[in-house]
Amino acid sequence: MKFLLVFIGGGVGSALRYYVGKFFVHTNHSFFNATLTVNVLGSVLIGILFGYFTKQNLVSQNQSILLITGFCGGFTTFSTFALENATMLKNGDYFSFAFYTILAIILGVLAVFLGLFLMK
């Protein structure tokens, strides 16, 4: 049952991530904007979900597996983030690498805190 919940949540999260990426391609934004967007949104969402489950004492293992492990895990894209960073380094674009990495980490952590704050 848990495998099925992760499978369903991850599939929905991955599909949504795909459409966010398509949106950025069609609007001619730089390639890492889609990854940064889904990682920050996913961080806010995981903070909201964790904060809500904790606040309401509703820590259902099935809900957590479906939404946090499955959906948020499928929606966010650390492997894509790592590949984009490797590409920037390979191309000698050290400023973009440093800026993007620092921005993604700071915004991701702040987004989790924002989600937790929203659930207070």
**Model confidence, pTM:** 0.80
Identify the pLDDT of residue 31: 65
Model pLDDT for residues 39-93, shown as the tens digit of each residue: 999 999 999 998 888 887 777 889 889 999 999 999 998 878 888 899 899 999 9
Compute how many other C-beta atoms are within 10 angstroms of the C-beta atom of residue 80: 17
Domain residue ranges in the chain: 2-118
What is the amino acid identity at position 66? L
Q: How far apart are CA 55 and CA 65, in angstroms?
A: 18
φ and ψ of 95, to 5 deg: -65, -50
What is the amino acid identity at position 53? F
Going 13 to 19 to 20 to 25, the CA torsion angle's sign is: positive
